[in-house]
Amino acid sequence: MRRVFVKNRDLVVPGTLLAQGPFKNGRGTFKEGNRVYSTVVGLVEVRNDFIRVIPLEGPYIPEVGDNVIGKIIDVRFSNWTVDIGAPYQAGLRVQDAVEEKIDLVKTDLRKIFDIGDIIYARVKAFNEVNQIDLTTKGMPFNGGPLRGGQIVEITPSKVPRLIGKGGSMINMIKKLTNTRIIVGQNGWVWVNGKQEELEKLAIEAILKVNRESHTQGLTDRVKAFLLERLRELKEQGIVEEIPKPEEGGEK
């Protein structure tokens, strides 16, 4: 017998009974017999026979297929160690970073990725012993390091709000600030602008979304905030013209 004791988007705490029956449980939950409980403070998501809880706070917990931004923190003989903001360090093997075969004896891996480099990667595997494997193959920038810009960290569970419906929020921020932005599902956001003031403005907007993600009318408020700041920058002679935002979109 299937029974769900909560509704989608309900806020739950650790130990809350979520469902009973033949459910598949995802992150933020544990199963005891045929009952599924929450392990975190977060929002419930129920899809058919699958149930999980999206944490409101806490570190990023990887899922296979996630696109993440990471920082190289160690270079070894045949792989790199990467910080992705998870409780455990991730690994990137040579064969998951380059197409051609590499002679490890003759090749200095630091010429591919060096300590401090920022990369955009996909979670290839995450197993029961907390080993996280990444791949950069097929990723933007030809899998190379992200040059310039800054990294902003937001709460991982707020990434969907930053992206917005159909990319509405993030595309608006990109257009109005004339910046390149890549959002990792681990809550790390890379921002790169041609002008320092516009890069800073994009970061302010991203942090505003992070702070106010639970509120209504956020897209309109972020748009108004950006346009007001852009008018100030135009008066100061920092920007020449203000891009016209697209109408509509997510509220």
Is the CB of residue 33 less than 8 Å from the CB of residue 94? Answer: no
d(CA 82, CA 157): 21
CA quadruple 86, 71, 63, 208: dihedral sign: positive
d(CA 114, CA 200): 26
Tokens at 219, concatenated: 């897209």
DSSP string, 5-59: -S-TT-EE-TT-EEEESS-EE-TTEEEETTEEEE-SSEEEEEETTEEEEEESSS-
d(CA 251, CA 248): 8
Instruction: Give the model's pLDDT for residue 245.
Output: 67
Buried/exposed code over 71-107 (b: 16+ C-beta within 10 A; e: otherwise): bbeebeeebbbbebbbeeebbbebebbbeeeeeeeee
**For the chain, percent of residues with pLDDT exceeding 70:** 97
Whether the pTM exceeds 0.75: the reply is yes
Q: If pLDDT is split at 50, 70 and 90, which confidence band does 246 have? A: low
Instruction: Give the model's pLDDT for residue 249.
Output: 46
Q: Which of 167, 198, 192 is nearest to 180 (CA)?
A: 192
Q: If pLDDT is split at 50, 70 and 90, which confidence band does 250 have? A: very low
Residue 142's Cβ-count burial label (10 Å; 0-12, 13-18, 19+) is exposed
Instruction: Give the model's pLDDT for residue 251.
Output: 44
Q: Which of 247, 239, 241 is nearest to 199 (CA)?
A: 239
Q: What is the pLDDT of residues 132-151, one digit of tens each?
A: 999 999 898 777 899 999 99
Q: What is the pLDDT of residues 90-100, one digit of tens each?
A: 999 999 998 88
Q: What is the pLDDT of residues 9-44, one digit of tens each?
A: 898 999 999 999 999 998 889 999 999 999 988 889
Mean pLDDT of the chain: 91
Q: What is the pLDDT of residues 196-224, one digit of tens each?
A: 999 999 999 999 999 998 888 999 999 99
Instruction: Give the model's pLDDT for residue 201.
Output: 97
Q: If pLDDT is split at 50, 70 and 90, which confidence band does 157 have? A: confident
- Could you list the beta-strand ranges (E) of 140-206: 150-153, 179-183, 188-193
Residue 81's alpha-carbon distances to 3, 67, 182, 209, in angstroms, are: 43, 17, 21, 31
Lowest mean pLDDT among 48-62, 166-180, 225-239: 48-62
Q: Which of 19, 251, 41, 6 is nearest to 157 (CA)?
A: 41
d(CA 109, CA 228): 46
SS3 for 124? strand
CA 168 and chain centroid, separation: 16
d(CA 136, CA 120): 7
Instruction: Give the model's pLDDT for residue 142.
Output: 74
